[in-house]
């Protein structure tokens, strides 16, 4: 009788998970989708704890206390600007859980598992542990504990693929062996952990949105394989939803950068190849003070704000909101141009602007905002570099070439707020710096915007 109630609860949870993904497709219903997913997960956890085969809650309680002790500070103390890092850590913890469950199953039930079940277990452990170390490395790059540029070494792709091939061969051996091989399985775990490091190490910060979504897909697939192993239908469904949504998002990220999976994973884009200079090809950068730059808003009727990682790093989203409110009060039509890979994770700019209570109606995606730039009086670029670089259209030798960008160079005036003349993560000098209609204002975005507001 209890099992029937558990399965019914799983059905309700599964329905909420599906609705959650559906509602998160729309900005207006995203909050409802978040609540649906959270409630669905709570129902799933409570139902699982009610299963009759659970005889003791001691270690479950210990794990719960540890999880709460780690998760609560992550939620309360990490600022919204650190959402990418927090997401990477969440992926790491979830993947570690999947890997540890698979490891426990092998050492506890290895003698009773057939070849098929062992193969599924190995796939789950491989994906879980490589996602764990890959996500930790992504966290280090996002938090700038590690260099955000690609870390390269000779023969890196050969080494990575060799480690993966060795891990797969070990998995075949484990699946075909008549008895468990504890030492070989331990070696398999080490290879899985190592491959996660080698996978993310040569990937630059500019590709972190795609890396995060790919790791999300890996974690989901690992959970789905775990569901097959434990005969848990809800885990299979939830993992499949997570894995497929992560894969679709990864495809969308690659499309937004005009890149392939192989290029993202093995291309090492982000190695600095150029250096911005005050003068280039007879052109020079025009630097302005915030007070001088504020004059461009006199008579402006249409303004587009393009946020980037510089806004996140300066935690300037609230000041951006204050500036746009000030302009709106003067009758200026203000919109935000959102590039799909701006920042360090999918939807990074949307999250930050939502925290600052920027109206959803003002957030306009790249395809819709690009036709509006020729009629835009002023574009304010807040720390966005590669996603606005015209080299993506004009320079075939550039690593950005072919990438869809926000066509801000078509606006009447460009106000570029930037900390320094450093290039973006793609290592390409931005042609916008040298346009006669570009006003460069150097400094911390938050400080510059506050001075702009004061000048207005």
For 23-55, the pLDDT digits (tens) are 887 777 888 998 999 999 999 999 988 888 888
Would you say residue 387 has pLDDT above 90?
A: no
For tokens 């050492």, what's the residue? 107
The whole-number average pLDDT for the span 398-412 is 86
More confident call, 372 vs 422:
372
Give the best-scoring range by mean pLDDT among 95-99, 157-161, 423-427: 95-99
Question: Model confidence over 246-269: pLDDT tens digits?
Answer: 888 888 777 777 766 676 666 555
pTM for this entry: 0.78
Confidence of residue 84 (pLDDT cuts 50, 70, 90): confident
Asked if residue 62 lies in contact with residue 112, where contact means CB atoms within 8 angstroms, the answer is no
C-alpha separations of 194 from 159, 163, 169, 323 in Å: 11, 8, 15, 47
pLDDT of residue 85: 84
Q: Catalytic pick from 242, 386, 409, 429?
A: 386
Asked if residue 421 lies in contact with residue 278, where contact means CB atoms within 8 angstroms, the answer is yes
- Ranges 31-35, 184-188, 326-330, 351-355: which has the least confidence: 351-355
Cα separation, 376 vs 301, in Å, equals 8
- Ranges 2-16, 170-184, 185-199, 247-261: which has the least confidence: 247-261
For tokens 């290029």, what's the residue? 263
Task: Give one word for 266, left, alpha or beta, with left for phi > 0 and alpha for psi -120 to 50.
Answer: alpha
List of residues 6+ apart from 332 with CB closer than 8 A: 297, 300, 301, 302, 303
Handedness of CA 98, 99, 100, 102 (dihedral sign): positive
Number of Cβ atoms within 10 Å of the Cβ of 23? 18
Tokens representing 301?
């009727």
Would you say residue 427 has pLDDT above 70?
A: no
pLDDT of residue 272: 46
The whole-number average pLDDT for the span 297-316 is 89
More confident call, 119 vs 340:
119
Cα–Cα–Cα angle for 98, 179, 116, rounded to 5 degrees: 55
Asked if residue 258 lies in contact with residue 403, where contact means CB atoms within 8 angstroms, the answer is yes
pLDDT of residue 71: 86
pLDDT of residue 283: 58
The whole-number average pLDDT for the span 173-191 is 90
Please confirm, yes or no, whether 386 is among the known catalytic residues.
yes
Would you say residue 19 has pLDDT above 70?
A: yes
Tokens representing 456?
């207005």
The whole-number average pLDDT for the span 84-109 is 89
Would you say residue 303 has pLDDT above 90?
A: yes
pLDDT of residue 416: 93
pLDDT of residue 425: 64
pLDDT of residue 57: 87
List of residues 6+ apart from 271 with CB closer than 8 A: 149, 150, 152, 204, 427
Would you say residue 147 has pLDDT above 60?
A: yes
The whole-number average pLDDT for the span 148-165 is 84
pLDDT of residue 281: 54
Cα separation, 171 vs 123, in Å, equals 8
Cα separation, 162 vs 193, in Å, equals 14
Would you say residue 270 has pLDDT above 70?
A: no
The whole-number average pLDDT for the span 136-158 is 82
Confidence of residue 424 (pLDDT cuts 50, 70, 90): low
């Amino acid at each position: 009788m209890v099992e029937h109630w558990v399965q019914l609860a799983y059905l309700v949870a599964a329905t909420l998970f599906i609705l959650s993904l559906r509602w998160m497709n729309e900005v207006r219903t995203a909050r409802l989708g978040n609540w649906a997913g959270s409630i669905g997960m709570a129902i799933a956890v409570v139902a699982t704890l009610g299963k009759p085969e659970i005889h003791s809650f001691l270690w479950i309680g210990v794990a719960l206390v540890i999880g709460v002790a780690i998760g609560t500070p992550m939620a309360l103390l990490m600022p919204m600007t650190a959402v990418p890092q927090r997401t990477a850590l969440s992926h790491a913890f979830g993947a570690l859980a999947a890997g540890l469950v698979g490891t426990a199953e092998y050492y506890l039930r290895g003698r009773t598992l057939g070849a098929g079940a062992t193969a599924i277990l190995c796939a789950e452990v491989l994906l879980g542990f490589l996602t764990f170390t890959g996500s930790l490395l992504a966290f280090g790059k996002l938090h700038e504990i590690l260099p955000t540029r690609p870390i390269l070494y000779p023969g890196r792709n050969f080494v990575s693929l060799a480690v993966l091939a060795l891990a797969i061969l070990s998995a075949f051996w484990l699946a075909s062996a008549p008895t468990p091989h504890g030492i070989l399985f331990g070696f398999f775990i080490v290879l899985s952990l190592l491959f996660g490091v080698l996978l993310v190490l040569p990937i630059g910060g500019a590709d972190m949105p795609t890396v995060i979504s790919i790791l999300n897909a890996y974690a989901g697939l690992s959970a789905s394989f775990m569901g097959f192993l434990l005969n848990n239908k809800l885990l299979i469904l939830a993992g499949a939803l997570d894995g497929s949504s992560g894969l679709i998002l990864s495809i969308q990220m690659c499309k937004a950068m005009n890149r392939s999976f192989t290029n993202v994973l093995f291309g090492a884009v982000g190695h600095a190849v150029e250096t911005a200079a005050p003068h280039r090809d007879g052109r020079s950068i025009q630097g302005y003070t915030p007070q001088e730059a504020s004059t461009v808003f006199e008579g402006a009727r249409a303004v587009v704000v393009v946020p980037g990682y510089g806004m996140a790093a300066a935690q300037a989203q609230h000041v951006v909101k204050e500036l746009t409110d000030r302009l709106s009060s003067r009758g200026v039509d203000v919109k935000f141009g959102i590039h799909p890979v701006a920042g360090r994770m999918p939807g990074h700019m949307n999250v930050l602007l939502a925290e600052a209570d920027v109206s959803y109606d003002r957030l306009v995606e790249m395809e819709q905002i690009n036709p509006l730039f020729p009629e835009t009086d002023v574009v304010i670029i807040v720390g966005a570099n590669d996603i606005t670089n015209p080299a993506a259209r004009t320079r075939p030798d550039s690593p950005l070439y072919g990438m869809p960008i926000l066509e801000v160079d078509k606006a009447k005036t460009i106000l570029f707020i930037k900390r320094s003349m450093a290039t973006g993560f793609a290592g390409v000098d931005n042609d916008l710096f040298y346009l006669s209609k570009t006003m460069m204002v150097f400094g911390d975005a938050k400080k510059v915007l506050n001075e702009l507001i004061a000048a207005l």
